[in-house]
């Protein structure tokens, strides 16, 4: 018959020290992941330790642990009564359905119920094993070492300061080892009276040694590290004069400090099926601090049933729009609690997991997804009502469908919008740091000196950043502003190279200095088209490298209109150039035509084609052998011409363009387009010229030339007027440059 042994005070002390060490494993989750609260995990750790120390029989602890786990799942994920069976049936259905997904490691497709149940169960099993090894078998040294190694790795490789945790683990770990060792020594003592005295004295000595060692280590003067930071050193950014640490490109909610180099990352974020290519808007920010962006005061709206909720005129109004339907599938390793939508959102539906609720930031038009709803006020009395709100836990959706609309901006309307901004707009979106260098505003005034309306000033600054040639798009060799230096000032006047964050922030700040309300927006570029569905809608793959930021400008009566300041990106927003006045059209950004180098003709195929059009002379008497040889040569030439028919077609089209330069610009542009289609790929049915220019894979300088020529063509066709002589001359030079550089 087994005897029930009572737990000693030293066993409880050992369990408490082990709890503090396990807590160090959980604390980083709140800072490095989207974990909202830690108390459910701490309850599991404490509950397992209490049960295992209090009950000596392992078989008796299992039912208690299972019941405790079910209670915890009910408390955190369900609002039904504890003793009802509905929530148990729902939990069972989710687990059975998601078990195959767990075996395939498809964690993103699992429901939040299954993921929580699986994680809590694994944590319970792990703590049970640790309790057996550390408390019963007294094998704690390896666990102390493993905990220190875990915290050191987090402190070195991730943005987590584990210095305090390392010191705490050192104290708790050595105390745990001391108690475990002394308990083993005193168990062998023969004199019962002296056992507690020996244990107490030895423990006090160990505690004093630890306190003195840690105190001296904390208070003693420390020499600076003689080795460089290993991460910065390995990434090539730890050298003298290069303080920046290389990051990976991607969407991040923290924009408090912008800048620094980054590495391209091709990781898939989501796949979208849509009838319109647009930027995927995630969030906007309105407070520029001099080093980055933050959010000011916010007004939130709780949406407990997003499936039946509709948004109206949240971004813009009074403009012609195009309806957009998009379905997003998050199949990659990265998921977000933010909803990304094209243009202006109207409705969200078909989302999974289905228990999602939404917290809507009404000031910045951001949708943050939460894991269901919780009971805010308990029912009291007979007439008591339950009040619900969104859960505090974030939820990452696997998929959702969006109904939205994108604007077709009337140039005539926004030019006439004026400057009668509402007071709340001026107070919020004209903010600038008090120490912004004056030369930023002076530059903005210089760039816009010939512009009269806010829209013309917006276009002037946009064109200046995109096409002046002063600013280079760069992701790796990106200097970081010195401590205390303004981010925009450093980019505009010193480094002059950066990526979308530099261009968009500079445009927003320059416009604010001219009293034009703007805000900074972030999300993803449209992505890469990989196919189409049965309804001929585009299937787009959006990857980390497509993370992007741009600018929204407020126009009275119409709302927020997006603009693109980064030279290597083209805004998908459509503009209707509907001005009908005697005034000249707004200037079009002219690419830099200077410093042209000799064209790269590749292997010289174009040279041979151009020089091979001479007609050979006929001889009077040709022997039959020569005729046979000539026939063979002709057959070979015919075969070679058939094999190289694509190059010959391109050569012929180029000759057509060169023969008569007096043709209309529209005719010459169409011939150029035919050449582009032969060299790269044909336009698809229903594809606009801008969409085609954005889709084909060509170098950035060629893409910029083609976009410029496309915009000139649109103005000529839809504006019903021929180009002026200067614009025609620039267009001819660009056509010549493109033709020389095209290689089949």
Farthest CA pair distance, the chain:
133
pLDDT of 137 above 50: yes
More confident residue, 173 or 377: 173
Residue 161 confidence (pLDDT): 78
- Residue with tokens 């990781």, as numbered in its chain: 267
For 372-389, the pLDDT digits (tens) are 887 765 444 445 566 778
Nearest 5°: phi and psi at 430? Answer: -115, 10
Helix (H, G, I), strand (E, B) or coil at 374: strand
Residue 733: exposure state from Cβ atoms within 10 A (0-12, 13-18, ≥19): middle
- Predicted confidence (pLDDT) at residue 553 exceeds the cutoff of 90: yes
The pTM score is 0.52
More confident residue, 4 or 179: 179
- Count Cβ atoms below 10 Å from residue 318 Cβ, excluding itself: 14
- Mean pLDDT value of segment 195-214: 60
Contact 167, 184 (CB under 8 A): no
Query: Looking at residue 211, what is its pLDDT?
Result: 64
Least-confidence region, from 68-82, 407-421, 503-517, 617-631: 617-631
Query: What residues are paired with 300 via a beta bridge?
Result: 361
Q: Could you read off the pLDDT of 304-324 as tens digits, one per residue?
A: 999 999 999 889 999 999 999
* Chain centroid, CA 155 distance in Å: 24
pLDDT for 435: 92
Q: Would you call the peptide bond into 106 cis, given omega within 30 degrees of 0 as the criterion?
A: no
Share of the chain above pLDDT 90, in %: 28
- Residues paired with 342 in a beta bridge: 280
The predicted-structure confidence for 115-125, as pLDDT tens digits, reads as follows 888 888 888 88
How many angstroms separate the first and last alpha carbons of the chain? 90
Indicate the SS3 state at residue 300. Answer: strand
Q: What is the mean pLDDT of residues 409-435?
A: 92
- Cα 335 to Cα 107: distance, rounded to the nearest angstrom: 11
Average pLDDT, the chain: 78
Q: Which residues of 108-117 are buried (b: 16+ CB within 10 A; e: fewer)?
A: bbbbbbbbbb
Residue 719 has what pLDDT?
64
Beta-strand pair 320-329/366-370: unpaired
Model pLDDT, residue 347: 95
71-80, 122-131, 282-291: which is most confident: 282-291
The pair phi, psi for residue 388, each rounded to 5°, is: -110, 155
Calculate mean pLDDT across residues 148-163. Answer: 81
Checking if the pLDDT of 136 tops 70, the result is yes
CATH number of 267-612: 3.10.620.30
pLDDT band at 3 (very low <50, low <70, confident <90, very high): very low
CA triplet 61, 67, 71: central angle to 5 degrees? 140
Confidence of residue 110 (pLDDT cuts 50, 70, 90): confident
| Ranges 261-275, 478-492, 721-735: which has the least confidence | 721-735
Look up residue 667 and give its DSSP letter: H
- Is the CA virtual torsion 339, 341, 343, 348 positive or negative? negative
Question: Lowest-confidence range among 318-327, 364-373, 488-497, 730-739?
Answer: 730-739
* pLDDT in the model for residue 238: 43
Q: What is the pLDDT of residue 592?
A: 45
What pLDDT is attached to residue 679? 72
Tell me the mean pLDDT in the region 554-572.
Answer: 90
Q: What percent of the chain has pLDDT over 70?
A: 75
Calculate the alpha carbon distances from 386 to 48, 80, 302, 355, 382 in Å.
Answer: 33, 12, 16, 18, 12
Whether the per-residue pLDDT at 696 is higher than 90: the answer is: no
Q: pLDDT: is 165 or 242 the higher one? A: 165
Which of 331-335, 368-372, 377-381 comes out lowest in average pLDDT? 377-381
What are the residues whose beta carbons fall under 8 Å from the beta carbon of 467, sequence distance 6 or more? 567, 589, 590, 591, 592, 704
* pLDDT value, residue 243: 44
Taking the C-alpha atoms of residue 268 and residue 257, their distance in angstroms, rounded to an integer, is 25
Is the pLDDT higher at 72 or at 620?
72
**Contact 115/35 with Cβ under 8 angstroms?**
no
- Tell me: pLDDT of 410 over 80: yes
* Cβ contacts of 11 within 8 Å, gap of 6 or more: 53, 135, 183
- Please report, for residues 135, 231, 257, 285, 732, the alpha-carbon distance to residue 254 in angstroms, rounded to integers and kept in the order given: 42, 21, 8, 11, 46
Task: For residue 653, name the pLDDT band (cuts at 50, 70, 90).
Answer: low
In the structure, what pLDDT confidence band is assigned to residue 737 with cuts at 50, 70 and 90? confident
Cβ atoms of 556 and 418 within 8 Å: the answer is: yes
Query: Start-end ranges of CATH 3.10.620.30 in the chain?
Result: 267-612
User: What's phi and psi for 390, nearest 5 deg?
Assistant: -65, 145
Comparing 179 with 59, the larger pLDDT belongs to 179
**Residue 518: phi, psi to the nearest 5?**
-140, 165
Which tokens sit at 157?
């490789």
Give the Cα separation of 423 and 421 in Å (integer).
Answer: 6
Instruction: Say how far apart CA 227 and CA 233 lie, in whole Å.
Output: 9
């Amino acid at each position: 018959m087994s005897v029930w042994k009572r737990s000693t005070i030293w066993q409880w002390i050992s369990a408490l020290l082990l709890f503090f060490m396990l807590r160090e494993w959980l604390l980083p989750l709140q800072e490095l992941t989207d974990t909202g609260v830690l108390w459910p995990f701490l309850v599991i750790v404490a509950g397992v330790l209490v049960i295992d120390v209090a009950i000596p029989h392992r078989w008796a602890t299992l039912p208690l642990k299972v019941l405790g786990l079910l209670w915890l799942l009910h408390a955190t994920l369900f609002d039904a009564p504890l003793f009802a069976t509905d929530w148990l049936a729902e939990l069972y259905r989710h687990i059975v359905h998601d078990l195959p997904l767990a075996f395939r490691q498809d964690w993103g497709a699992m429901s939040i119920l299954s993921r929580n149940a699986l994680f809590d169960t694994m944590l319970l099993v792990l703590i049970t094993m640790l309790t057996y090894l550390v408390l019963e078998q007294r094998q704690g040294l390896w666990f102390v070492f493993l905990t220190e190694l875990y915290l050191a790795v987090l402190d070195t490789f991730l943005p987590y300061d584990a210095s305090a945790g390392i010191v705490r683990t050192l104290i708790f770990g050595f105390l745990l080892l001391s108690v475990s060792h002394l308990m083993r020594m005193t168990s062998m003592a023969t004199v019962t009276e002296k056992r507690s005295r020996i244990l107490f004295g030895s423990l006090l000595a160990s505690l004093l040694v630890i306190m003195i060692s840690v105190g001296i280590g904390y208070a003693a003067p420390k020499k600076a590290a003689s080795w460089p930071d290993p991460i910065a050193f390995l990434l090539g950014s730890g050298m003298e004069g290069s303080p920046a640490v290389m990051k990976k490109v991607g969407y991040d909610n923290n924009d408090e400090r912008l800048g620094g180099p980054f590495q391209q990352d091709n990781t898939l974020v989501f796949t979208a099926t849509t009838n319109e290519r647009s930027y995927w808007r995630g969030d906007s920010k309105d407070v520029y601090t001099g080093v980055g962006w933050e959010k000011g005061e916010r007004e939130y709206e709780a949406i407990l049933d997003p499936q039946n909720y509709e948004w109206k005129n949240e971004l813009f109004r009074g403009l012609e729009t195009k309806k957009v339907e998009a379905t997003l599938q998050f199949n990659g390793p990265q998921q977000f609690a933010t909803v990304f939508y094209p243009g202006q959102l109207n409705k969200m539906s078909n989302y999974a997991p289905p228990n999602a609720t939404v917290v809507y930031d009404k000031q910045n038009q951001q949708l943050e997804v939460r894991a269901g709803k919780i009971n805010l006020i308990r029912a009291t009395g007979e007439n008591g009502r339950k009040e619900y709100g969104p859960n505090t836990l974030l939820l990452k959706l696997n998929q959702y469908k969006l109904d939205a609309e994108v604007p077709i901006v009337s140039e005539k309307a926004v030019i006439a919008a004026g400057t009668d901004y509402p007071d709340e707009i001026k107070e919020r979106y004209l903010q600038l740091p008090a120490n912004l260098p004056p030369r930023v505003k002076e530059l903005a005034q210089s760039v816009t000196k010939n512009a009269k309306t806010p829209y013309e000033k917006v276009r002037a600054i946009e064109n200046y950043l995109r096409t002046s040639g002063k600013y280079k798009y760069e992701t790796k060799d990106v200097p970081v502003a010195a401590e205390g230096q303004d981010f925009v000032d450093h980019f505009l006047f010193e480094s002059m190279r950066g990526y979308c964050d530099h261009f968009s922030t500079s445009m927003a700040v320059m416009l604010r200095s001219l009293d034009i309300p703007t805000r900074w927006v972030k999300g993803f570029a449209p992505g890469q088209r990989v196919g189409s569905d049965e309804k001929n809608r585009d299937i787009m793959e959006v990857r980390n490298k497509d993370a992007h930021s741009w600018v929204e400008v407020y126009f009275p009566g119409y709302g927020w209109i997006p603009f693109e300041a980064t030279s290597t990106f083209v805004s998908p927003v459509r503009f209707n150039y509907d001005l009908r006045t005697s005034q000249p059209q707004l200037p079009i950004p002219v690419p830099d035509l200077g410093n042209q180098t000799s064209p790269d003709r590749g292997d010289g195929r174009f040279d041979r084609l151009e020089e091979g059009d001479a007609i050979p002379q006929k001889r009077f008497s040709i022997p039959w052998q020569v005729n046979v040889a000539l026939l063979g040569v002709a057959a070979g030439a015919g075969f070679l011409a058939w094999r190289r028919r694509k190059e010959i077609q391109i050569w012929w089209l180029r000759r057509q363009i060169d023969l008569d330069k007096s043709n209309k610009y529209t005719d010459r542009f169409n011939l150029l387009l035919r050449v582009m289609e032969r060299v790269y790929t044909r336009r698809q049915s229903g594809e606009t010229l801008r969409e085609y220019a954005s889709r084909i894979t060509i170098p950035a300088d060629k893409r910029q030339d083609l976009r410029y020529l496309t915009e000139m063509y649109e103005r000529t066709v839809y504006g019903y007027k021929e180009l002026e002589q200067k614009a025609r001359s620039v267009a001819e030079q660009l056509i010549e440059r493109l033709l020389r550089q095209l290689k089949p």
